[in-house]
Structures are given as structure tokens and as C-alpha cells.
Structure 1
Amino acid sequence: MRADKTLFTGLVKKDRRALARELARLEREEAARRRRHRRIAWRTGLAVVGVAVLSVGTVTIVSALQPTPVLGPMNMASDGILFSGDGSTVTAATAAGLESDATPVASTLDTSDKLLHVVVYADYGSADSALFETTNGSALLSWVTSGYATLELHPVALDDSVNQNYSKRAANAVACVADASPDAVPAVNTALATAQSTAGASGLADDALVTLVQTAGVTDAAVADCITSGTFDDWVVDATGRAQASVPNSDVAALDTAPLVVVNGTAYTGALDDASAFESFVQNVYAPSE
């Protein structure tokens, strides 16, 4: 604020000084007011920027802390791995891995194709699962190889609390093989069943599981790392829980014991160590119309 010289016209010296002091005071107050407004605006601007930066930072930190959805093993979109044959070779069906919160897609049961569709839920810590496999596994695999049947294998862990997590660790080993070398799963499945009777109450150690898988033909170092690190342990627990809640394409509502063997939708309830009884059951279930 600058004084208009005409304001001083007609005033004596004393009055001009008083007026000048008053004008100066008013100018100082106006300048101070402008400075206060600038400080308030500056602080408000900083606060807004700070909140924005904090918000972005918080979102970034929260995003970084959010766990990345864990993928289940490749080639097990149904929680099981499906095999078919062409007369000489058994081949696994391929599929992408499922995220931890994804819903598995059950395989379609189509009996119009005149094939046997066999589904086995196996717990590798269970003597009963091993008994069924050592008794009937060879015949099952021969049917699949010949192209007469499909086989869907579900590794589960029902007996985990009594064998120091061996059921889960062995199922994880199968999942590791399914993820990297799916066609080798039948050989690993057979080897695990054979080893069950001599594995002891605690089952095979992780290093022994790696050796078993390598002996079955899977020498990939990534598979060994997958086994020893328990990569799919959580998936095994989740898949087992899903089977305990519901068994698709079956006359059994839920999994409560292993093995569970389902042929064309009907569960086998006969003796696990009687190959003739199982073969008769299969024939009765299949019973193709002529």
C-alpha cells in the first residue's frame, strides 16, 4: 500500500507525520496478512501432497505385503492328474496350474465312449493305499496303456497326523513330478506304494523321496528342490480338504478313507488285496451293451 500524496495536502507537518505512521502501520499489517495467507496455502499444499504421497506409499506397501496367489501344480486342474493310452504309451493330460483360491475343474465323466474311467484317491502314508496299488496297479496301468481305460490319480493326505507329515510330503512329491514331468507320475506312484511297507512310521525322509523319484526316472534338479522345499504342501492340504467335502462323478459323497477307487462313477468296496474281486467289480460296472 503506497500513500497517495494528495492525502497530505493541507495538513500541517505534525499531522502529515501522524498520517504517514498510520499508513505505514496499515501497510505492515497488510503485508503480514499476505504472508500469513501464503504460509497457510503452502502448508495446506504440503499436507495435500503429503497425504497423496502417503496414500500411494501405503497402497504400494500394502500391495507388496499382499501374498502372491500360489499356483497349484501344473497338469492337475481337477486336483488329480489324468492319464490315457494309445496302445503303447501312457500320456498325461496337460493343464495350467490353479491359483490357491481357484476352484478345480472336475473331469467330465462320459461313459458313452465305452472306456473305463478309473479315479484313485491315494494316501502314500496309508498301508491300504499301498496294498491296493501293489495288488491292482499293474493291471490298471495295462488297461490304460492299451487304450481301454483312463486313470485319474489324486494324491491326498488323510493320515498326516500319525506319520510326521509323510502323507503330505509324499503327495507333494507326486505334485512336483506332475508339475514338471507328468508322464513319469505312474512310475513314481508305483514306487511310493512299493516303498510304503518298509518306510517306517515316519515314512521316507525328503532326501529319500528325492532318491525314489530320481530312481523312477525324474532327475530334474528343480523337482528335487520342489520336494525338499515342500512347494505344494499347501495345495495338498487344500486338495485333500476339497475331496473330504465332495467327490465329483461318484456315488460317494465325500472322501473319508484311502484308497477311494471309483470306476465309471461307482466306488469299489471290495477287498483291497483281491485282484480277482476288483476285476469282477470292473466288469460288472462296465457291462457294455451289445
Structure 2
Amino acid sequence: MTDSDSDDQQNGAPSGSSRGQRRAAARAKAQAARQRQKARARRGRWAIQGALGLVIIAVIVGIVLVVTQSVRPEGPGPANMAGDGITIGRDFKAVPADAQSASAAPSPTTTAAAADTVKISVYLDYLCPICGSFGATNNEYIKGLVESGAATVDYHPIAILTNQSLGTKYSQRAANAAACVATYSPDAFFDFNTAMFAKQPKEGTAGLTDAAILTLIKGVPKITQTDSIARCISDKTYVPWVVSATQRALDGPIAGSSIGKVQGTPTVLVNGQEYKATTPFTTAEFSNFVVTAAGNSYSDTATSSATPTPTKK
């Protein structure tokens, strides 16, 4: 033992070995504290990384859902509109046609009419004021041709003025209602179409509510299955078809016609030839165009046989 150690012990001071032990213990405690701190830091990083991982997974799932919903196949389109239009023949009977996918390319209806039967096709928007004017001028003339069997008329409801009704999407809703009528009460479609334009709202207004459209429909004497039509309107069953059919018309081609695509409404075709009208419309001008388009196979005073139901291939 050294003199200094002896002195420390005599004075009650800790020996050098005791001080060393305490220093070692302090170092051990400090090291343990640092390890605990590092462990907490690692756990914090893991928690952050885990949370980020969950966020990334949620984002990926969200993207997948959006993509899946955007590319999912749509439900069926309306019945009797396989070519994106309903064909009305003699005695105002609709030519039957199977439903197709709302997003499918239109397959033209094969209306095997008599040789002297004219095919009139009308692309219309129920908010379009010019469509209303064309109908007001020529509806009775077309009605006479169809009633006698001298012509058939195809109606193609589209919605190019959806954003012109103060946010209510009247054009789209009206075209959906037309698809509902075509599906559940097709033989009343001519009268429904006439009634819709008789109550046509002005462009730039909110248009008719769904309830008002349904009231109008119930006022058409030939309408049947009004409960099914009401659900169809309320559920907006055929809105996806309206959107797709409108885009198809605007993109073209228009099968069996002289035009590549629809550029506005009304677009009126007679035997595939576009009626380029002057305004104001006159029945004389349209009837002359019908005769010209039909050529030698037709005169507007002719009587033809009834339009036969197309043969399914």
C-alpha cells in the first residue's frame, strides 16, 4: 500500500480502486443509456417507416381502385337501341333490338324495309332549341310517313349540352329517360319524343327535374311499365350509355351515312344523306329533300309494306 492510499484510508477518502469502480459503473450506465436511446431512435425510425409504408400502400390501393373503376366494363345499354338509336316503323312500332354494352361500338340495326321505304335518322339533344324547331316544323310530316309505312325514323338521343343547364345536366338526364322509355315502353317512343319537345326548356335554364320528366312520361297515353321507368330515371341507369353514345356520335364514323361524325344537333340523315337545312325550317324544304334523297325508289305519297322485323344473325 502506498503512502497516499494509506492517507486516503486514514482520512476516510475512497481508495483509488473504489474510484475506478465508480468510474467503470458510470461508464456502464452511460453506455446503457446510449444503447437505450439508440433503441428508441431505431423504434422511432421503424414507426415512421411503417407509417410511411401504410400511407404508400393506401395510395397504391387508391390508385388501383380509381384505375379499376375507370376501366371497368359498363352495364348493358338500353334495349332496342343496339345502334345507339331506336327505330320506329309502321304504326309507330319500335323495331326490336338487343341491348349492348354501354361502351361498345354501335352496331347498325338491319332494318330490312321495303325498297320504297325511306330511312330518316335524327341525332338530337333534348335541350337543343334548333332540334325543337326542326321537330315543331317537321314532326307531323314525319309522323305521316311513318304511320303509312313509307318511312322509318331512328332517334339518337345524345347529350352535347349537358353543361348548359345550370349544373343539373338536363341533356344527360333527358337522354337517360329516353333510353328508359326505349327499354320499357318502346312502342310509345315516338309520342314520348314529341312530348319532350312540346315541354322543352330553354337552353341555359335548369331544365325539367327528374320528377317533372316522369310526370310528362306518365301523361303519354301509350306509356307502360311506369314503375320500371321511374326506377330507371331515378337510378340514372343508362347515363354511362348516354356518355358513351354521345362520344361515339362525335367521334364517328356514322355507319351507312355520308358524314364522318356528328358535329351538332340536330343532325338529320335521309337514307344516309345529310339534310343541310336553311332556317327557319320549312316542311316543303324537308319533304323535297326526302324525295331527292330517296331517288326514284320513293315518292312521299307512296304506300309501302310494313317494315319487317330484322332477322338476327
TM-score (normalised: structure 2): 0.67
Letter matched to residue 260 of structure 1:
T
Quote the offset at 1:109 in angstroms. Answer: 7.5
**Aligned partner of 1:281 among 263, 282, 289:** 289
Counterpart of 1:262 in 2: which secondary structure?
strand
Structure 1 residues 150-201: Cα deviation after superposition (integer angstroms, max 9, x where no partner): 1111000011111231111111111000010101111110011111156871
Quote the offset at 1:228 in angstroms. Answer: 2.1
Aligned partners of 1:74 and 1:96 also within 8 Å: yes
Partner of 1:235: 241
Counterpart of 1:82 in 2: which secondary structure?
strand
Distance 2:112 2:251 in 1: 23
Aligned partners of 2:129 and 2:203 also within 8 Å: no
Determine if the alignment matches structure 1 residue 260 to structure 2 residue 267. Answer: yes
Unaligned stretches of 5+ residues in structure 1: 1-61
Higher relative contact order (CA 8 A, sep 6+): 2
Counterpart of 2:144 in 1: which secondary structure?
helix
Q: Single out whichever of 272-281 and 233-242 deviates more from structure 2.
A: 272-281
Quote the offset at 1:271 in angstroms. Answer: 2.7
Unaligned stretches of 5+ residues in structure 2: 1-64, 299-313
Determine if the alignment matches structure 1 residue 207 to structure 2 residue 214. Answer: no
TM-score (normalised: structure 1): 0.72
Distance 2:170 2:132 in 1: 14
Distance 1:70 1:197 in 2: 30
Aligned partners of 2:79 and 2:99 also within 8 Å: yes
Partner of 1:81: 86
Partner of 1:191: 195
Counterpart of 1:151 in 2: which secondary structure?
strand
Q: Could you say what the CA RMSD is over the residues aligned between the two structures, in angstroms?
A: 2.3
**Aligned partner of 1:175 among 163, 179, 194:** 179
Counterpart of 2:163 in 1: which secondary structure?
helix
Distance 2:124 2:138 in 1: 13
Distance 2:124 2:78 in 1: 17
**Aligned partner of 2:134 among 125, 129, 132:** 132
Distance 2:111 2:79 in 1: 21
Aligned partners of 1:109 and 1:249 also within 8 Å: no
Distance 2:101 2:113 in 1: 30
Distance 1:268 1:109 in 2: 21
Quote the offset at 1:283 in angstroms. Answer: 1.4
Aligned partners of 2:125 and 2:161 also within 8 Å: yes
Aligned partners of 1:263 and 1:285 also within 8 Å: yes
Partner of 1:47: none
Within 5 A, what are the aligned runs for 1:59-78? 69-78=74-83
Aligned partners of 2:128 and 2:265 also within 8 Å: yes
Aligned partners of 2:73 and 2:103 also within 8 Å: no
Structure 1 residues 120-170: Cα deviation after superposition (integer angstroms, max 9, x where no partner): 001001001111111101111210110100111100001111123111111
Aligned partners of 1:122 and 1:259 also within 8 Å: yes
Counterpart of 2:122 in 1: which secondary structure?
strand
Partner of 2:28: none
Aligned partners of 2:177 and 2:233 also within 8 Å: yes
Aligned partners of 1:111 and 1:264 also within 8 Å: no
Distance 1:143 1:262 in 2: 15
Aligned partners of 1:123 and 1:156 also within 8 Å: yes
Structure 1 residues 194-253: Cα deviation after superposition (integer angstroms, max 9, x where no partner): 111568711111100000111113252110121122111110010010011112221111
- Relative to 1, partners in 2 of residues 1:102 and 1:68: Cα closer, same or farther, differing over 3 Å? closer
Letter matched to residue 74 of structure 1:
A
Distance 1:116 1:209 in 2: 31
Partner of 2:159: 157
Quote the offset at 1:287 in angstroms. Answer: 2.3
Partner of 1:29: none
